A and B are shown apart, each in its own frame.
Chain A
Amino acid sequence: MIVADRKPIEEIIGYLKDHKNILVLGCNECVTVCEAGGKKEVGVLASALRMHAKKEGNEVKIDEVTLERQCDREYLDEIRDSIDQYDAVVSLACGVGVQFTAEQYHSTPVYPGVNTCFMGATEKRGLWTERCQGCGQCILATTGSICPVARCAKRLFNGPCGGSTDGKCEINAEVDCAWQLIIDRLKALDRLDEYEKLCPLKDWSTDRAGGPRKVVREDVQQ
């Protein structure tokens, strides 16, 4: 899932200082799971914004809506009839949701309510860690299902660098060396011969280096 973190309330208050009718728009998907932008967080942020406005003596209307997703038009259409009442939207979805909402509603400013961080997993409640960078050419089949693109600081493809010490990365003693993990895993799977194989140069054009990307599936298009 896409992992996001809360933005400081002061920052959001700063965006909204000139607006009087505000919609706080949550998303029921990834940001709900990582407790940054679901229905609950929408309620908390809206309540805090209402209190701040009242305290400052500003007459501000703040409503709360949480959509199933903000990255699909059919769900964003649910606010089409009511969007004209608002002069600003704070979207608690990931950066995708913020942009897609703005694309659907050209005349309403849409502000981000969270900091979108990475694609990751829930290790435990309150701890999310990165697993994928969406490089567009998945090599997990040869690396024991551990990604050196996302988890090796240098994105190395043929074993660890000299900075790997006791299974930890030189950038931080708390960060596991991805290649140590890969070797341990291949050993456990009795597939260390995979490690011996040289990984050829990777085509980075499918990564961000090739600019904004798209997936086109004509077979499913309507």
Chain B
Amino acid sequence: MRLQYPPNIRIVRVPCSGKVDLIHILHAFEKGADGVCVLACLEGDCHFNNGNLMARRRVEQAQEILNSIGIGGERAQMYNLSASEGPRFAQYVTEFTEKIKDLGPNPVKLAKNKAA
């Protein structure tokens, strides 16, 4: 299965999506990420019962904050898939990358580069 997906994504592995805190998502944007997507197990399939549900709520919190500071909540996204679904992983990250390309670069990064 030689699947292709965009090379410009950076994968951060965590033991469970429940490990992803709001501050991790915000720090990624602060450091210049154009988008952050959390890929979690299917709802109801969490080995720790509700890690993916907590992740979803945190992504929603991040979206709210990004909207209120004018960066755009759609830059943070949540996807659910099973660990064995390689093709779906490739499909989701391709979709997400295209979406972020349409939105353009992170305004924080642009301002930082301009200042430098």
B65 with A48: CB separation less than 8 A: yes
- Size of B's binding interface in residues, CB under 8 A: 18
Q: Digit string of B11-31 for contact with A (CB within 8 Å is 1, else 0)?
A: 000000000011100110110
A47 with B30: CB separation less than 8 A: yes
A73 interface contact, C-beta 8 A: no
**A9-B69 CB under 8 A given contacts A51-B29, A54-B112, A55-B107:** yes
Q: Among B68, B70, B111, point to the contact of A57 (Cβ < 8 A).
A: B111
Rounded to whole angstroms, the CA-CA distance of A54 and B111 in the bound complex is 6
A44 with B26: CB separation less than 8 A: yes
Chain A residues closer than 8 Å to B46, beta-carbon distance:
none
- State the main secondary structure of chain A at its contact with B: helix
A213 interface contact, C-beta 8 A: no
B47 interface contact, C-beta 8 A: no
Rounded to whole angstroms, the CA-CA distance of A10 and B112 in the bound complex is 22
Q: Among A9, A44, A57, A59, point to the contact of B23 (Cβ < 8 A).
A: A44
Binding site for B on A (CB under 8 A): 8-10, 13, 40, 43-44, 47-48, 50-52, 54-57, 59
Which 9 A-B residue pairs are closest in the complex by CB-CB distance?
A52-B69, A47-B26, A55-B107, A9-B68, A54-B108, A43-B23, A54-B111, A51-B108, A48-B65
Binding site for A on B (CB under 8 A): 21-23, 26-27, 29-30, 65, 68-71, 107-108, 111-112, 114-115
Rounded to whole angstroms, the CA-CA distance of A54 and B70 in the bound complex is 11
Rounded to whole angstroms, the CA-CA distance of A50 and B29 in the bound complex is 11
B114 with A51: CB separation less than 8 A: no
Tell me the smallest distance from the CB of A10 to a CB of chain B, in Å: 6
Tell me the smallest distance from the CB of B70 to a CB of chain A, in Å: 6
Rounded to whole angstroms, the CA-CA distance of A47 and B68 in the bound complex is 13
Residue of A whose beta carbon sits closest to that of B21: A40
Tell me the smallest distance from the CB of A198 to a CB of chain B, in Å: 50
